[in-house]
Structures are given as structure tokens and as C-alpha cells.
């Protein structure tokens, strides 16, 4: 195993400047169409070689378990690891504020163009495809659980409660999360 290599990620710290951190997360954000997970791996593991595949998987697993946008959490954790609070702030800004500044003019364009029937009609098509993309993403995420009845039951309950019955998210989470964590706890011990 690669325990020694993963043991001290701070050994890399001096080679990654705050500016490089900012640029990396801006690059991830601006490359991301339809989800930033794939691009964060591509930039951090393949292009920059700041993380091994295994380190990335570890870090992302943790960021998925925490609330909040997963790759935003990744920017916070990676930034903190290398430059503390300043690193977190810089990675956060690169990942969120840069795309905001770049895409806001696009939204303005829409808010004027939104009155044009062609734009509205074309967007209706994009919306139909985008929901298909989202359903496919959900199915891809569910595939690893196909032999895990308890996990499938929890996923199905969340889907029906929120997606079909339109119950408030907080109520559904409040009811299901303790059950699901308890089930996972019993399986582990």
C-alpha cells in the first residue's frame, strides 16, 4: 500500500502558491459543464499532479459526506490543507466568484433575450435534455448500491418523498438520515 506517500501531504505545501491554488480552482470551475467532479479530478490529479488518485478519492469521499456543494467543500479542504484559512478563501474565490463574474453577463443576456420566443423555445429543449442528464447521473450514482437492499430502500424513500410527493426536504432528511446512519452503524459493528 502507499501509506508512507499519503502520510504527509503537507510536504507538497511550499510548491503550491496561493495564486496557483486560485488558478487551479478557477480552471476547474470554467471547464465544468454539467458538474465539476470530473474536472476537479482531471485538474488536481492529471494536470497538476497535486494529488494521487487514492488521495483524491479519500478527499472527495469526505467532501460528499459533508453538507454543501461537494466540489466547494473540496476547494475548502484542499485550500486549508496547503495554506490554512487563506488557502480555503482563495480556492473558494477561484471556484465560485470567477465563474460568477464570467457567466453573469450570460444571465443578463437571457433576461433580455428571454422575451424572444426562439430563445425560450430552444431553452425548453435544453431543459428537457438537462433533466435527462440529471436522471442519468442519479442512476449512475445508484449503481454501486444495486446489491444493497437497505441503501436502495433509503434512496427510494428519499426519491418518492421529495421527488414525487413534494414533501419538504428537511422533514424527509430528518426522518431518513438517522435511520440510514443507524443501519450503516449496525452493518459496520
Interacting positions 88-127 with another protein (CB under 8 A): 88, 92, 95-96, 99-100, 102-104, 106-108, 110-111, 114, 118, 120-127
**Are 72 and 59 contacting, i.e. CB atoms less than 8 angstroms apart?**
no
DSSP conformational letter for 143: G
Answer yes or no: are the C-beta atoms of 164 and 177 closer than 8 Å.
no
By CB under 8 A, the residues from 156 to 175 that bind another protein are: 156-159, 161-164, 166, 168-170, 173
69 binds another protein (CB under 8 A): yes
Q: Does residue 52 touch another protein according to CB under 8 A? A: no
Burial degree of 92 (CB within 10 A; 0-12, 13-18, 19+)? middle
| 22 CB-contact burial (10 Å; exposed 0-12 / middle 13-18 / buried 19+) | buried
Q: Which residue number, 30 or 45, has a Cβ lying nearer to another protein?
A: 30
Q: In the complex, what is the shortest distance from the CB of residue 38 to another protein, in angstroms, rounded to a whole number?
A: 10
57 near another protein, rule: CB under 8 A: no
Q: Is 13 in the site for another protein (CB under 8 A)?
A: no
Amino acid at each position: 500500500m502507499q501509506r508512507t506517500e499519503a502520510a504527509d501531504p503537507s510536504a507538497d505545501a511550499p510548491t503550491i502558491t496561493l495564486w496557483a491554488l486560485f488558478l487551479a480552482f478557477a480552471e476547474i470551475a470554467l471547464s465544468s459543464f454539467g458538474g465539476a467532479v470530473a474536472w476537479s479530478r482531471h485538474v488536481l490529479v492529471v494536470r497538476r499532479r497535486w494529488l494521487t488518485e487514492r488521495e483524491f478519492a479519500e478527499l472527495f469521499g469526505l467532501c460528499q459526506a459533508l453538507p454543501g456543494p461537494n466540489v466547494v467543500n473540496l476547494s475548502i479542504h484542499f485550500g486549508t490543507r496547503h495554506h490554512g484559512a487563506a488557502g480555503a478563501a482563495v480556492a473558494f474565490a477561484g471556484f465560485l466568484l470567477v465563474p460568477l463574474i464570467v457567466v453573469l453577463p450570460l444571465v443578463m443576456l437571457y433576461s433580455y433575450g428571454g422575451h424572444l420566443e426562439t430563445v425560450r423555445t430552444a431553452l425548453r429543449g435544453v431543459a428537457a435534455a438537462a433533466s435527462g442528464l440529471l436522471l442519468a447521473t442519479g442512476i449512475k450514482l445508484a449503481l454501486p448500491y444495486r446489491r444493497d437492499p437497505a441503501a436502495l430502500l433509503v434512496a427510494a424513500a428519499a426519491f418518492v418523498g421529495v421527488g414525487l410527493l413534494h414533501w419538504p426536504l428537511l422533514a424527509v432528511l430528518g426522518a431518513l438520515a438517522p435511520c440510514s446512519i443507524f443501519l450503516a452503524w449496525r452493518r459496520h459493528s
